[in-house]
Structures are given as structure tokens and as C-alpha cells.
Amino acid sequence: MERMIAVIGGSGVYDIEGLEDARWQAVDSPWGKPSDEILTGTLDGVKMAFLPRHGRGHVHSPSTVPYRANIDALKRLGATDVVSVSACGSFREELAPGDFVVVDQFIDRTFAREKSFFGQGCVAHVSVAHPTCGRLSAHCLQASRDEGITIHQGGTYLAMEGPQFSTLAESKLYRENWGCDVIGMTNMPEAKLAREAELCYASIAMVTDYDCWHPDHDAVEVADIVKTLMGNAEKARAMVTRLPGLLGAHKPCEKGCDTALEYAMITAPEKRDPALVAKLDAVAGRVLNR
Ligand SMILES: CSC[C@H]1O[C@H](OP(=O)(O)O)[C@H](O)[C@@H]1O
Ligand SMILES: Nc1ncnc2[nH]cnc12
């Protein structure tokens, strides 16, 4: 199967450079309007797509990002691998602003978002025990190292609802009691939805600040974040340009992300809601139409 690498750009990352035959295109989804048009093209012979998570000009808040439409639209375009690049706060002294972290676990504290493509009339339960793709994550790690970026392998990302930053008590709870490494507002339910859509998902968290637990950093300010964000965005773009060479156009994923729905469906075929089944054509057509 031909692979397509999709990059979801977080705060500060509203485009990528160097694509051949680049064009922004609108993609319709039965799950609503994606955050923006999607930039498509090729890089080193590999198909690429780019979607700015908050839209160009940063229109969507973390709670109003249309996560389902975004993942569905990328799947519909033919994406097989989704790389999320996100700004985050750090809970560890050694994860300094400007550093990247290859996230491999999440604690999902979001509560005001649609979290699944499935529901009444078509129920499915996928595993998110290992919510990121080890193969794609390893390539992102390598690509970053090749670019000279300081990147840490593995970390737990606390997904908070926002849009306000954490209180001091929350920051200490997540860091000291829950063992989290970084904090952000967007990787959930995005990672869960990517798994439901049988897409490989990797999350690169780019540290912008120390949240508010740090004795030398009393409160998070967007102005401070933006200063670090610009440098991080440049590094993220550089990392992305190395990915096609590492992933290749046809190498399959051996981690099983592309068969996540194999045994997930539990609603009896005769009880399925045809309207929901129709909406699931891109996400779950592989298992629903056989
Ligand atoms: C601009 S700071 C807070 C904002 O930045 C992060 O967005 P993203 O994950 O899309 O890079 C964070 O999650 C908040 O949405
Ligand atoms: N400290 C923080 N908390 C939540 N989201 C963030 N994004 C960047 N910094 C953050």
C-alpha cells in the first residue's frame, strides 16, 4: 500500500515547506468541516499532507478543533501516517524549552470534546494501551537527531481541556503524583481517533515553557510561549523534510495500527444504524464493507 505522511501542525506551525506540486485543497467530511484546507504534495517521492490544527491564523481553540473531521479528512485523502507536532509545557527540569519529546503515553483529562467515531448503532472498542506507533515515532526521533534537535525518547503527555493553563495545584498533581512529563491541550482525542481510523500516529511535543510548578517560572504567559514557538516551528519543519527518506513510500507498518478495528466492532450487523455506517465509510470501511 502506498503510504502518505500527514503532518498536523500545532500552535506556531501553520504550513510546511518544500513540497512538490503543493496545493491547498478543501476536503469534505461527513464529520464536519476540518480545521482548514489541507496542503498536499510530494516530498522525495512520498505523498505528503499538512493540516494546521487550529487553522491558518489560529482560529480554533483546543476545545473547538474539529478532531473527528480532521482525522476523517486525512484518512479520506489516503493518509497512512499522522505526525502531530505540538507545543507543550514541561514537568521536568531536563525537558527544557526548545527540546522535543517523543510522546508515548497520554493521560486524557479532556471532557468537552467528541471522542469517538463510533456510538449508538455502531459500537466499537479499540485498544489504546500503546497509543502511538513505535515505528513512526522511531523515525521522528531519528529525523530530529539528524537535524541536531535535542529530542527525548518517551514521555507521558497530560491532555487538559483548557483553554486556561493549569492551577499550581494541578501542575504539581500531574508532575509529582501522576508522573507526567509534558502537558498540552490537543493530543486527545486526536490520538484515540487516529487509532480508530487505523492510522499510525506519532506525537512530537515541542517544549515551550515549564508550566507553573517551576520555582523560577511563576505563571505561563502566551507571549513567552510564542518566543520559543517560532524556533520550535522551524525545527519541526526541518524534521518533517527528513521523514520521507526514512519512512519510504511503500514500507508497511509492522505494529498493527492499520488493523486496529479487526476485532473491535461489537454491534451485530443487522442492528447497525445505516446512517452511522455510511458516515464511517472512510474510517471503518475496511471492516464494515466485507
Ligand atoms: C499557544 S499555547 C497553548 C496551546 O498550544 C498548544 O497547542 P498545540 O497542541 O496545537 O500545539 C496547546 O495544546 C494549546 O492549545
Ligand atoms: N503549560 C502548558 N499547558 C498546556 N498547554 C500548553 N501548551 C504550551 N504550554 C502549555
Give the residue numbers spanning the domain of 263. 86-288
DSSP 251: P
- Counting from 1 in the atom list of ligand 2, the atom nearest the Cα of 184 is 5
273 in catalytic set: no
146 among the known binding-site residues? no
- Specify the pLDDT at position 250: 77
Q: Which ligand is nearest to the CA of 95?
A: 2
Residue 74 grid cell = 486525512
85 in Cβ contact with 157 (< 8 Å): no
Residue 160 belongs to a domain: yes
Work out how many domains the chain is built from and give that number.
1
Ligand 2 near 97 CB (within 6 A):
no
Nearest CA to ligand 2 atom 2: 89
User: Reduced to 3 states, what is the DSSP secondary structure of residue 107?
Assistant: strand
The whole-number pLDDT of residue 220 equals 83
Instruction: Tell me how far the alpha carbon of residue 152 lies from the centroid of ligand 2, in angstroms.
Output: 18
The pLDDT tens digits along the chain (290 residues) read 899 999 999 999 999 999 999 999 999 999 999 999 999 999 999 999 999 999 999 999 999 999 999 999 999 999 999 999 999 999 999 999 999 999 999 999 999 999 999 999 999 999 999 999 999 999 999 999 999 999 999 999 999 999 999 999 999 999 999 999 999 999 999 999 999 999 999 999 999 999 999 999 888 889 889 999 999 999 999 999 999 999 988 778 888 999 999 999 999 999 999 999 999 999 999 999 88
Q: Helix (H, G, I), strand (E, B), or coil: what is residue 12?
A: coil
Give the strand pairing for 151-153 and 182-184: unpaired
The answer to the question of residue 19 being in a domain is no
Q: What is the pLDDT of residue 219?
A: 84
Domain membership of residue 173 (yes or no) is: yes
Residue 23 lies inside a defined structural domain of this protein: no
With 0.80 as the threshold, say if the pTM is over it: yes
Residue 20 domain flag = no
Cell of 148: 541536531
pLDDT for the residue numbered 263: 96
CATH at 176: 3.40.50.1580
Check pocket membership of 65 for ligand 1, CB cut-off 6 A: no
**Of 164, 162, 186, nearest to 53 (Cα)?**
186
Of the residues 99, 104, 181, 211, which is catalytic? 211
Answer yes or no: is the C-beta of 219 below 6 A from any ligand 1 atom. Answer: no
Answer whether residue 110 is part of any domain. yes
Asked if the structure places residue 109 within a domain, the reply is yes
d(CA 83, CA 60): 19
The reply to whether 57 falls in a domain is no
